[in-house]
Amino acid sequence: MSASALPLAGVRVVEFTHMVMGPSIGLILADLGAEVTKVEPLEGDNTRRLTGAGAGYFAMYNRNKQSVAIDLKSEAGRQAVHRLLADADVLLENFRPGAMDALGFGAAALAALNPRLIYCSAKGFLSGPYEHRTALDEVAQMMGGLAYMTGLPGRPMRAGSSVIDVTGAMFCVIGILAALHQRHATGRGQAVTASLYETTVFLVGQHMAQCAATGQAPPPMSVRQSAWAVYDVFETADDERVFAAVVSDTQWRKFCEDFGFAEFLADESLARNTGRVQQRERTLPVIRARFAELNKAALMARLEATGLPFAPIARPQDLFDDPHLNAGGGLLDVTLPNGTATRLPALPLEMDGRRFGLRSGLPAVGQHNRQRLLAGGLEAAEIDALVASGVLTA
């Protein structure tokens, strides 16, 4: 798909973000075709230098963007960026409350500069008593009940990825797209804010509704009573594990026929899901023993032929070689800043049967300074002066 044919072609975005939530917003918009300019400090976004569990943040969430590295503490730097914002469609920021105002880039000030600007803030909390607190993905998971639901009783545990950062970014994108649509009617932009805490609460809402519906506090998912009799991880003959589920009465009959459970099929008390759930302690050991006779590949082949939900227990490193991802455009070729070539996930989205790909790789710090500032209306001599004064990287 050519750049001009992408859904958000022509939408200009200026991004002031770091870590995961903010850059994820820019990533989604950029993959969909928006022109995203990442404004960084002279030394570059601190996320570029993270190690350990954060070592993949920059590489995953910053493709298809352009980088401008400029000193926003200087008046000349701020004025140059104001030129970029004068005709921008969207601003993204995820800094602590008040930080953008202190730089002269608050929502009210920029609405006066550019009334059509959609000002998107990714925050820890929406309006209320907590709004000035500093939050992280893990803080939100702990406060919002997700860590409780993920862990064992008495041992809250965060989910195994930055799920709240990324989901919160999706809500930001939803808000931005809604604001762009509304601007067609009003001609004006508006402030859009999404948050980590409220995103977590929305995800946990199913358990709040469960509590209201049953009158009982939901236990952690690790010890929950499943809604289905077969919904578990099973050991195989080659000491591997496979998740398998039977979630309807029709599936149950097919499952019993294909796996030779004639005794279950003949038992009318197991014909309905409620009866099967009540008798899990009787049926599951038999099912486990039958599955344990098969190796992982054979079990998955049987489950797939039967049409049941199943899954191998994969690790992140296993996904590089996943045949489905590699065949369907699910992984994009990306070169890391250290020169390592790898493949990272594309947007999990198809439009008219087409996936969204890589138009440009990870930007070097300030790689697009001259290009973007010239497009913003600065003269070459003005840019040279900014470089000479140390306000802009060369």
Supply the pLDDT for residue 71: 98
Distance CA 123, CA 268 (A): 54
CB 355 within 8 A of CB 349: yes
Query: Do 296 and 332 lie in a common domain?
Result: no
In a domain, 267, yes or no: yes
Query: Do 101 and 199 lie in a common domain?
Result: yes
In a domain, 393, yes or no: no
Query: Do 191 and 279 lie in a common domain?
Result: no
Query: Do 199 and 277 lie in a common domain?
Result: no
CB 180 within 8 A of CB 120: no
Residue 243, domain CATH: 3.30.1540.10
Query: Do 251 and 103 lie in a common domain?
Result: no
Final residue in a domain of this structure, among 280, 313, 346? 313
Task: State which residues form the domain around 272.
Answer: 226-313
In a domain, 180, yes or no: yes
Query: Do 300 and 335 lie in a common domain?
Result: no
Final residue in a domain of this structure, among 263, 284, 313? 313
Supply the pLDDT for residue 200: 98
Half-sphere exposure of 362 (CA within 13 A, CB side): 26
Distance CA 178, CA 193 (A): 12
Any idea what the Cα angle at residue 76 is, between residues 72 and 80, rounded to 5°?
80
CB 85 within 8 A of CB 117: yes
- What separation in angstroms does the CA of 378 have from each of 82, 83, 355, 369, 374? 11, 8, 36, 11, 5
Query: Do 340 and 379 lie in a common domain?
Result: yes
Q: Which residue has the tokens 């289905």?
A: 228
pTM of the full structure: 0.95
Beta bridge partners, 72, equal none
In a domain, 272, yes or no: yes
**Residue 391 neighbours by CB under 8 Å, 6+ apart:** 70, 71, 74, 76, 77, 80
In a domain, 90, yes or no: yes
Supply the pLDDT for residue 1: 67
Query: Do 231 and 182 lie in a common domain?
Result: no
Distance CA 190, CA 186 (A): 10
In a domain, 162, yes or no: yes
Distance CA 383, CA 256 (A): 73
The torsion defined by the Cα of 238, 239, 245 and 246, in degrees rounded to 10, comes to: 50
Query: Do 38 and 156 lie in a common domain?
Result: yes
Tokens read off for 275? 């009866």
pLDDT digits (tens, 9 = 90+) for 45-78: 999 999 999 999 999 999 999 999 999 999 999 9
Query: Do 39 and 149 lie in a common domain?
Result: yes
Can you say whether the dihedral through the CA atoms of 261, 262, 267, 270 is positive or negative? positive
Supply the pLDDT for residue 177: 98
Long-range contacts of range 235-238, CB-CB < 8 Å, 24 or more positions apart? 235/288, 235/291, 235/292, 236/291, 236/292, 236/294, 236/295, 236/296, 236/299, 237/292, 237/293, 237/294, 237/295, 238/295, 238/296
In a domain, 118, yes or no: yes
Residue 196, domain CATH: 3.40.50.10540
Count of domains forming the chain: 2
CB 254 within 8 A of CB 230: no
Query: Do 374 and 261 lie in a common domain?
Result: no
Residue 24's SS3 state is helix
Q: Residue-wise pLDDT tens for the chain (394 aa)?
A: 688 899 999 999 999 999 999 999 999 999 999 999 999 999 999 999 999 999 999 999 999 999 999 999 999 999 999 999 999 999 999 999 999 999 999 999 999 999 999 999 999 999 999 999 999 999 999 999 999 999 999 999 999 999 999 999 999 999 999 999 999 999 999 999 999 999 999 999 999 999 999 999 999 999 988 889 999 999 999 999 999 999 999 999 999 999 999 999 999 999 999 999 999 999 999 999 999 999 999 999 999 999 999 999 999 999 999 999 999 899 999 999 999 999 999 999 999 999 999 999 999 999 999 999 999 999 999 999 999 999 999 9
- What separation in angstroms does the CA of 97 have from each of 238, 263, 373? 53, 64, 27
Please count the other Cβ atoms lying within 10 Å of the Cβ belonging to residue 55. 11
Task: Lay out the sheet containing 90-93: strands in order across.
Answer: 65-69, 35-40, 12-16, 90-93, 118-123, 191-195
Supply the pLDDT for residue 67: 98
Looking at residue 318, the DSSP 8-state letter turns out to be G
Query: Do 333 and 306 lie in a common domain?
Result: no
Tokens read off for 169? 């970014």
In a domain, 120, yes or no: yes
Supply the pLDDT for residue 2: 80
User: Which of 19, 15, 16 lies closest to 135, judged by CA?
Assistant: 19
Beta bridge partners, 121, equal 93, 193
Tokens read off for 140? 């939100």
Final residue in a domain of this structure, among 282, 313, 344? 313
Q: Which residue has the tokens 């750049």?
A: 3
DSSP E strands: which ranges in the chain? 12-16, 35-40, 65-69, 90-93, 118-123, 191-195, 230-235, 241-246, 310-312, 331-335, 341-345
Residue count of the chain: 394
